[in-house]
A = this chain, B = another copy of it.
Amino acid sequence: MNTSFDSLQTPCLILHQSRFDANVTRLYEKCKVHKTAIRPHLKTAKSVALAKRMQRAPMTGITVSTLHEAEYFYNAGFNDILYAVTIAPNKIERAVTLATKCPSLILLIDNVTVFKIFDRFVQGIKAEHQFNIRLMIEIDVDGHRAGLLPNEEELLALAQSIVESRNFTFCGLMTHAGESYTCQTPVDLQQHAKQEVERMQEAKRFLQQHDIKCPVLSIGSTPTANAYENLDEIDEIRAGVFVFYDLVMTNIGVCTIDDIALGVLSTVISHKKSHNRVIIDAGGLALSKDRGTASQKADFGYGLLIDALTWIPIGQLVVNQANQEHGVVYLQNTEQFSNLPVGAKVIVLPNHACMTAAAHSEYHVFEDGRIIDTISRINGW
């Protein structure tokens, strides 16, 4: 074990810097080939230092999942920000406060009800502030969660309302192909990616038929971002977890275990010889309770154990049971006790990087067998 690990309090979050860099480069190169911009979703990284590390062509702006993230990145110098959750009535005032300082902030909407509330609110403060709010409409391409269908009447009504209001600028259409997380094969993925693109083209044409110009088509999800073949008319890709990848993504087939750039450093705290188990100090709080791999082809429990220095899996050991501050690892044979003495450090690769990262307030940066830096991240709303 490298001595630099010894200074870390376990459990803590480790970022494998060269894997992170390689993951970013790989998707950026793909976007360059397709001649699309990329607007990384920073809901996973939530770190200014990491966002700056990603800041090069074809990255244009950034995507965030909370207003807290939007404010945090704006305060660090980022201006072209898409807040990619449909705006709630009780978040309008806070969003507008940010938009007055950051006019390139783009907000998202998917229904006329909230638009009317929003329009009245902006109208009410128009005398004080001379600005337009930039809005995109969320499209549903796969029935996963929010958004309007590519050809439904409310889409047209909403787009028309935005275009006609003097308080807003219509910036285009966005979607998240969230259902792609259930894909099992490369063919499934390509099909899903194709459907995502085509439904967005369809929505754009639907609006064009009614003389509404759609400046931007923004699409994305880490699974589909790796599977696009034709991106005609698509202006930008959004993806988030691709910077780290995780075990869910390994099962979907868009990365290998050797691409995963995030893990939780943990210490073996007890041997339970009567049960052939080892106990580590990373439990449900440090790993998250996300069991995303439970329904996939390989079930990794609460995460896969790897060697902390080499990042090579330790047999096929996983965290089988996660209490709040205890992770219980069921050994495959008694010889494994000697590879995992009490006090040994291991890293646990996450099922779902977004959830695991959110349990921590900083990344310890691993490079060439050493911890070279500690960088902060944010949480909360």
A interface residues, Cβ below 8 angstroms from B:
6, 9-12, 43, 65-67, 85-91, 94, 110-111, 113-114, 117, 140, 143, 145-146, 149, 152, 178, 267-272, 274-275, 277, 279, 281, 284-286, 288-291, 321, 323-326, 328, 341-343, 352, 354-355, 358-361, 379-381
Contact = CB atoms under 8 A, between A and B. Distances in A.
A238 to B, nearest CB: 13
Query: Which of A67, A117, A379 has the most chain B CB within a 10 Å cutoff?
Result: A379
| Copies of this protein chain in the complex | 2
Secondary structure at chain A's binding surface: helix, strand, loop or mixed?
loop
B279 A145 contact: yes
Closest 7 pairs between A and B when the two form their complex, measured CB to CB: A89-B343, A289-B290, A88-B269, A146-B270, A88-B267, A65-B325, A289-B289
A334 B347 CA distance: 47
A381 B86 CA distance: 34
A129 to B, nearest CB: 22
B178 A145 contact: no
A15 to B, nearest CB: 17
Contact of A343 (B66, B117, B328): B117
Contacts of A152: 274
Contacts of A145: 272, 277, 279, 321, 323, 326, 328
A281 B88 contact: yes
Contacts of A65: 324-325
Given A178-B323, A284-B290, A289-B289, A275 B110 contact: no
